[in-house]
Structure 1
Amino acid sequence: MSVSASRTGAKVERQPLARYTTLGVGGESEIWFVSTLEQLGEAMEQPYRILGGGSNLVIHDSGVPERVIRLVGPLAERDLRADPDLSSDTEIVTGWVGGGVPLPGLVRQLQKLGLSNLEGTVGIPGQVGGSVWMNAGTRFGEMFDGLHTIEIVTPEGAKQVTPADLDWGYRQSGIPRGHVVSRVRLKLRRDTPEAVLARMDHADQARKGQPKNKTPGCAFKNPGGVSAGKLIDEAGLKGTRVGNAMIAPEHANFIVNLGGATAADVHALLGIIRERVAVPMELEYELWPEQL
């Protein structure tokens, strides 16, 4: 349902955010579907949040008061042709890839083209923009392995930076809050589709123990190199359930939606984990809002 007109032509609707998250929870909010930098700039004139693929995210059951922005249209398209001025025989720099491009489909397309550097992110749900913002990855690789240029938008306008300009690291890019990753150029190595697929299969096999129910992904970051899942498992919490949310029996660092779970159910499980695990652990999930 349309709720307001946009002077730049962005579509604005109120919808349940649950339909846009991998966990499947989240109340109704105002969503701006933006396809140009001009529309993005208008959407950012009021308090806002960016919603990409909806992974790694737990949204309150009443939604959020801010505008919620989703990148669509040209900001969700990809140009994987090699830029002749920046590429070589062994390495290519692509055209622009929109922040709204789904990461799983991009990784599969790169494999078919025989382009390497991002296969370690196989299996990660989400979109390019959010994955860059948090430097999403696995032990086999992360987003910053394959980045050449990042276009960042603030209410003051757009600018382009390189990884060398940012203080990036494990699960963080150094891009401040209030900045939106609108597009990126990828830096990739040429290889054979077969070799890239073999590395993807190896990384994917290591993820086979992960749950198949709706989930935001890993709940906690590994503290000091120790597996968060192992700590939660050792606390005897696998299979613990609150309402229709459960700590996955397959992997204790995942909370799953058994069907009809609420954000309150998930928050209750996070509280139980923090009470029972002696080692302080930093939350991997992003909570909307941050303070309940």
Structure 2
Amino acid sequence: MSRTGARVERLPLARFTTLGVGGEAEVWFTGSHEQLAEAMEQPYRILGGGSNLVISDQGVPERVIRLSGPLAERDLNPDPALSTPDEIVTGWVGGGVPLPGLVRALQKLGLSNLEGTVGIPGQVGGSVWMNAGTRFGEMFDGLHTIEIVTPQGTRQVTPADLDWGYRRSGIPLNHIVSRVRLKLRLSTPEAVLARMEAADQARKGQPKNKTPGCAFKNPTLPGGEKVSAGKLIDEAGLKGTRVGNALIAPEHGNFIVNLGGATAADVHALLRVIRERVGVPMELEYELWPTDPGLSAPAGSE
């Protein structure tokens, strides 16, 4: 235990990622702002649900922070001071709350705005930080207030305070989304479920193996047209390309999957193959620990 009661263990990070890859690090399980402040006294990284993340086979030297306890709990009751007859603003939802369970709970309550994120396997904090979503909706559709913790202290912001957009929140790296209040529309469980099923149906062609999710953001062509990264990878003939035990999924070219025993080096090699073979600048959707300078900027943008 740390001096504030945070649990600290040295653990393989692969167990916390959807890809199942990553070496060891010192992991801090923090359930309060006091414990977060202590964990942030030394260089750190924040690890949520572990999707959209590829961690080095050697791990990372920094402390790795996980939100737990009260920071992984949710209060979905309407806040009477902030809610209106047409809009529900909830109590605080911890950054460590799993997103899939939250979306299901909102559906049962007949509360709408986040059903477009169905199937995303992250936690609330990380999903807000990268504005996770699908073509049916994104996290910022349902946010009222965001609590951000930094080494300098804690502050609360609204979406209007941030320069957010497609797959980005405008929140700097290593600023921790500790809690949020949700902004939701009153609907019915049946109507919300129907929208969830429509979004889920569109994901049926995605692979079932361990994967971080989509590898690249959908790029915008010089004329302003946004195109599918998966379509470009497919047209380059890269589906089914394998390095070690990592594979560009035959089902969807923008997914890299772990066939069992893949390494981060295998995944990095496939990312480079895609960047070299697709004739359009491609920006990673994955976060790499540590950053790989050769992959950090879109190919062709230097």
What TM bracket, shorter-length normalisation? over 0.9
Unaligned 5+ residue runs, structure 2?
221-225, 294-302
- From 27, 30, 36, give the equivalent of 2:32: 36
Please name the residue that 1:226 is paired with: 227
State TM-score, norm by structure 2: 0.94
- Structure 1 CA distance, aligned partners of 2:62 and 2:230? 33
Aligned equivalent of 1:27, options 23, 27, 36: 23
Give the TM-score of the pair, scaled to structure 1: 0.98
In the alignment, does 2:125 pair up with 1:129? yes
After superposition, residues 1-292 of structure 1 pair within 5 angstroms as 5-224=1-220, 225-291=226-292
Deviations 1:219-261 (A, max 9, x none): 0001111110011001110000011100000000000000110
- Counterpart of 1:182, as a letter, is S
Counterpart amino acid of residue 179 in structure 1? H
Partners of 1:121 and 1:9 in 2: CA distance:
34
d(CA) in 2 for partners of 1:13, 1:206: 40
Instruction: Tell me how far apart the structure 2 counterparts of residues 207 and 220 of structure 1 sit (CA, whole Å).
Output: 16
Deviation of residue 88 (structure 1)?
1.6
CA RMSD of aligned residues (A): 0.7
Partner letter of residue 141 of structure 1? G
1:226 & 1:92 partners in 2: Cα distance?
35
2:53 corresponds to which letter in structure 1?
Answer: L
- Give me the whole-angstrom Cα distance separating, in 2, the residues matched to 1:69 and 1:178: 10
The AA in structure 2 aligned to 1:48 is: Y
Between the aligned partners of 1:19 and 1:121, the Cα distance in structure 2 is: 23
Q: Quick one: distance in 2 between partners of 1:165 and 1:74? A: 26
Percent identity between matched residues is 85
**Inter-partner Cα distance in structure 1 for 2:253 and 2:77:** 41
Equivalent AA in structure 2 for residue 274 of structure 1: R
> Aligned equivalents of 2:160 and 2:228: distance in 1?
29
AA matched with 1:245 = A
Which blocks of at least 5 consecutive residues in structure 1 are unaligned? Answer: none
**Poorly superposed stretches of 4+, deviation over 3 Å:** none
User: Residue 6 of structure 1: CA displacement?
Assistant: 1.1
